[in-house]
Structure 1
Amino acid sequence: MTGNAGDQTSYWIETAPPGALHPPLATDITVDVAVIGAGIAGLSTARELARAGRSVAVLEADRIATGVTGHTTAKLSAQHSLVYEQLRRTRGVEAAKLYGRSQSEAIRHAAAIVADLGIDCDWEDTDSFAYTLESGRTEELKAEADAARAAGLPAEYVTGTDLPFPVAGAVRVAGQAQFHPRKYLLALTEDLLGHGAQMYEHTRVVGLKEGEPCRLTTEVGPTVTATDVVVATHYPIFDRALLFTRLSPHRELVLTAPMPAGTAPQGMYITPEQNTRSVRTAPYADGQRLLIVTGESFTPGTADTEERFGRLTAWVTEHFGPLDFTHRWATQDNSTTDSVPLVGPFHAGSRHTYVATGFGGWGMSGGIMAGRLLSDLITGQGSPWSELYDPRRVRTAVREAPAFLKNQAKVARHFVGDRLPPTSGSVDDLAPGEGALVRIDGHRCAAYRDDAGEVHAVSARCTHLGCLVAFNRAERAWECPCHGSRFDPDGQILQGPATRPLEKRAVPGPDTATDAPTDRS
């Protein structure tokens, strides 16, 4: 395994060119459209709009395609596990058809871009499979195959795959694709810049004033005035639409290992069983393929991630034999309460603000689809699937209430439980590489001891909505279990929706007693 417990470098980030450096925003600017976020949804939207003749500025808090998109498993598939039978039951046959068509057209659109621009991004056409190991679930998969076929996908039920273990059944969808996402997006960026777009990295947006025009404020100081604004930050950084009540963050772990090309699976595979197992391979050196396995889904801040990496490692070894693991990282996404992404006007009163979120682990095809849909809405062309994805769609008791209530109950448990006094602890108890919630001078703090023995202490309350963070020892990060914000040991933001870092706390000297548990975090 490359690196150590704190090294979680994605293969896509490590093997892509570093890309051009883009400066932070240094002066006030005015554009037609401001896009917040430079992942696949944001960059796809920006490119479509720039090619449509709009002046566009992209504002990225870190670097291009190094966030969620840089940590994906990079499947371009319209087969999103077992979604079509669910859509047919809850939204109707026509909605399922629109979903399948919109996702399939996104894949074809990406293929055309790769061909037109000559992008070297390891593009491969392949088949996608959703499988089960349980004989009792084969009827469920047969129904999914029927629903996917009725939705327009080239789907069929099969019992054989090229996985190195038997399956009870699978839904096969032909004509899907896989690629190197960061190579693709770096080329996409060059193209949109060639069409006059502006790109700003290390520019965190912290405020939005809606109107005609809209105005964005940034952490670095300058403002952006825009006719239209697109919020493509994975989890929306503004709460005015209350979308956090309809989004549930989940994190999954990824392992990679080279294996002989002759024995490597050629398709893309997923099962919701065993707490999710996703398998695919990618081109690799010396006649090998790179096995990419994803699984162990969990809510951020609620699991022993190191233990879960161990489970995933054991599963890969059991099914593929002893391998030399080269990379490990984690990926994060948000699922909506009705399993359909939220793409369109930000809220009921929106006239010039738009959002793209809730891709449920399928952000590659979903992000490309969102770029086309948002561009059509902003340029006034309309789209046949705008109603399907509209964030303002009305929730119904039958369709969305159970998932909505479950999500809110989970968040409520944290809001209530986080305000009960925890057991007091001391920073002296922390071993190198460990983090824990302790009390320092009456403050509830998140304390971490690095490998050199130095203690880093920050406020324990997430700056988004105030839930207590928890420590992820495998990735050495503080995570919010309510809405998925993540912070490094010094409190700096790794992932939103938080827009402010955790406040630093002074660390007491050795043998300093902790105060009584008063809540002043």
Structure 2
Amino acid sequence: MTAKNASLWLDRPRPAANPPIPDGSRVDVVVIGAGLTGLCTALELSRSGATVAVLDARRAGSVTTGRTTGKISLLQGTKLSQIAARYPRDVVRAYVDANRNGRRRLLDLCRGFGVPVQIETAYTYVTTPGGTAALADEFEAASGAGLDVGWNDPSDLPFPVTGAIALAEQAQFDPVDLVEALVHALRERGVPVVENTRVRSVSRGLGRTAVHHAGGSLTADRVVLATGTPILDRGSFFARLEPRRSYCLAVAGVDRPPRGMYLSADSPTRSLRYVPTADGELLVVGGNGHTVGRGGATKPRVADLIGWTGRHFPGGDVTHMWSAQDYHSTDEMPLVGGVLPGDDRILVASGYDKWGMTNAAAAADMIAARIRGEPREWAKPFDPWALSRAPRSAAPTLELNAAVAVEMAKGWTAPLVRSRSSTPPEGTGHVHAGVPVPEAVCTVGGRTHRVSAVCPHLGGIVRWNDAERSWDCPLHGSRFTPEGRLLEGPATRDLSGSDCVADLRGK
């Protein structure tokens, strides 16, 4: 069986996209991004009586939401102990309360829309003696925040573990089922969900904010950036967020996939869950994460994940392979609030650190409540400009941006010692010196493409991702197709340059 290079959740016929929104339209709120955060925010606001429009550069749910593992869990690996290491216990409890609220809202939406959900126990486990200390820290943080966690030996796993903690009554689902239900519900309420419409910029005027997109513009009182990482550089959120990418497989034919949802606390990370389908259960395996554009070739990471799966779950066939991108906040807490301090005209939600299901619904509720003037009591630690966050983010932020500076320097100096070379072999790409800027060259599907290697966001030099055949920026995570078209990240424009210079098919 040949595996599809596609997300399991997105491998389906999609409903027709909405027609473009008329140029010059006016609404109360424009939501940019039709993932789970944006769609839940739009529904909350619409139910409150606001007029809303949703814009997405691609199809709804096709970026982060449609590439997750679909776990709705309050036990999130070692997330709570990471927060507890930086903040007092009340902040950890606020994070749990917000996520508990998000979990409840998601499950209510699934019940209301008839979206199937499996209620399962979530496990955080370790396979090495050295990992037990991290597990004990997570148990203490979770217990202190009011979660009914317990020590457990997950007998379903086909390999030995040295410890595990468990939280019952968590959930898993197909996230695109909910995305499509939300899009349908919004359109029935008269809320346009406009896909394939990339926002280029946002400008503020007297009393109204203009959103400029590829087909024109519209104005609103408020704008919500639900784009994974903010596409506006105001507030310098790119300096507080580290883009991280990880890999997933769907596997058919595994004899009795484990019940429950599993995540390892030691490295390399392994995530496991089952998926019920009409043709039998699939096993979803995830892991091998890294900072986008860094850490060398990506194909070995996918190969390692396939090899590990084959050793522990023999007899299965990989049906789908995909990857996901999310953003880790330097101070561990998600960022939900104004893009600038004291200004709620543009609001942002980001930094979920791969726990975007519960955090997305929680952020949507926080943003909608903030717009209504009814802030949630647990929302304060999420505010990007809360004074309590500053001292806890200073050192990690400096460290993150020092690494970015190193990557910037490496990207610009490496092409100086690499002359223009011959056509790259199929599936490969490289960057070499060019005039006036370095050139990114790759060959995919028999076509050789030459584009500028300079990311239009802040001038980083892109690198070839051989597993996904994309150009990835190692600074802030913008990604581009072989032809230079923008896929995701803080950039809002394509790589400049010609589309292709040779066609080698049949030669």
Instruction: Report the TM-score when normalising by structure 2.
Output: 0.94
Q: How does 1:49-448 map to 2 (within 5 A)?
A: 49-119=45-115, 122-211=116-205, 212-220=207-215, 222-260=216-254, 263-286=256-279, 288-302=280-294, 303-394=296-387, 399-420=392-413, 422=415, 423-441=417-435, 443-448=437-442
User: Where do 5+ consecutive residues of structure 2 fail to align?
Assistant: none
Q: Does the CA contact (< 8 Å) of 1:32 and 1:55 recur in 2?
A: yes
Residue aligning to 1:2: 2
In structure 2, distance between residues paired with 1:18 and 1:506: 28
From the superposition, tell whether residues 431 and 351 of structure 1 become closer, same or farther in structure 2 (CA, over 3 Å).
same
Residues 113, 484 of structure 1: CA spacing in aligned structure 2 closer, same or farther, 3 A cutoff? same
Deviations 1:462-486 (A, max 9, x none): 0000000001111110000111000
State which drifts further: 398-407 or 500-509. 500-509
1:500 matched to which residue of 2? 493
Distance 1:346 1:337 in 2: 16
Between stretches 141-150 and 408-417, larger displacement belongs to 141-150
Quickly say closer, same or farther: Cα 1:44–1:233, change in 2 above 3 A: same
Asked if the contact 1:214–1:225 (Cα under 8 Å) also holds between the matched residues in 2, the reply is yes
SS in 2 for 1:242: helix
1:368 aligns to what SS in structure 2? helix
1:487 and 2:480 equivalent? yes
- 1:292-336 CA deviation, whole Å, 9 max, x = no partner? 011111122223111111111111111112321100011010000
User: Quick one: which amino acid aligns to residue 335 of structure 2?
Assistant: L
1:399 Cα deviation from its structure 2 partner? 2.5
1: distance between equivalents of 2:390 and 2:17? 48
- Percent identity between the aligned chains? 36
Give the partner amino acid of 1:61: A
2:15 aligns to what?
19
**2:77 alignment partner AA:** S
Partner secondary structure for residue 366 of structure 1: helix
Q: Given residue 65 of structure 1, which amino acid in structure 2 is its aligned partner?
A: G
- Partner of 1:343, secondary structure, is strand
* 1:475 alignment partner, SS class: coil
Q: Secondary structure at the match of 1:255?
A: strand
Secondary structure in 1 aligned to 2:450? Answer: strand
Amino acid at match of 2:288: E
1:47 paired with 2:47, answer no
Once the two structures are overlaid, the 10-residue window that deviates more, 157-166 or 361-370, is 157-166
Shift of 1:441: 4.7
Give the counterpart letter for 1:106 in structure 2. Answer: G
Call closer, same or farther: CA 1:496–1:134 in 2, change over 3 Å: same
CA distance in 1, matches of 2:478, 2:265: 25
Query: SS in structure 1 opposite 2:245?
Result: strand
Please say if residues 254 and 315 of structure 2, whose CA atoms lie closer than 8 Å, have aligned partners that are also in contact. Answer: no
- SS of residue paired to 1:202: coil
Deviation at residue 251 of structure 1 after TM alignment: 0.3
Deviations 1:34-71 (A, max 9, x none): 00000011001001101111000001111111111111
Matched AA of 1:291: L
Match of 1:515 in 2: none
Determine whether 1:36 maps to 2:32.
yes
Conserved? CA contact 1:492–1:501, under 8 Å: yes
Q: Could you tell me how far 1:348 is from its partner in structure 2? A: 0.9
Structure 1 residues 85 and 440: CA distance shift in structure 2, 3 A: closer
Indicate conservation of the 8 Å contact 2:437/2:454, yes or no: no
Change (3 A) 1:508 1:283: closer
Q: How far apart in 2 are the matches of 1:316 and 1:191?
A: 38
Work out whether residues 336 and 348 of structure 2, in 8 Å CA contact, stay in contact via their aligned partners in 1. yes
- The one-letter amino acid of 1:67's match is V
* Unmatched segments (≥5 aa) in structure 1: 511-521
Quote how far apart the aligned CAs of 1:386 are: 1.6
Please say if residues 445 and 505 of structure 1, whose CA atoms lie closer than 8 Å, have aligned partners that are also in contact: no
Equivalent pair of 1:258/1:284 in contact (CA under 8 Å): no
Does structure 2 retain, via aligned residues, the 8 Å contact 1:90–1:398? no
**Amino acid of the residue matched to residue 10 of structure 2?**
I
Flag the 1:397–1:56 CA change in 2: closer, same or farther, 3 A: closer
**One-letter identity of the residue aligned with 1:80:** Q
Asked if the contact 2:457–2:490 (Cα under 8 Å) also holds between the matched residues in 1, the reply is yes
Question: For the residues of structure 1 that align with 2:192 and 2:423, how far apart are their CA atoms?
Answer: 49
User: Could you tell me how far apart the structure 2 residues matched to 1:408 and 1:59 are?
Assistant: 31
Bigger Cα displacement from structure 2, 82-91 vs 270-279? 82-91
Per-residue CA distance 1:356-395 (angstroms, 9 max, x = gap)? 1111001111111111111100111110122111011236
Q: How many Å separate the matches in 2 of 1:395 and 1:151?
A: 19
- Counting matched residue pairs gives 500
Q: What secondary structure is seen at the aligned counterpart in 1 of 2:331?
A: coil
Amino acid at match of 2:49: G
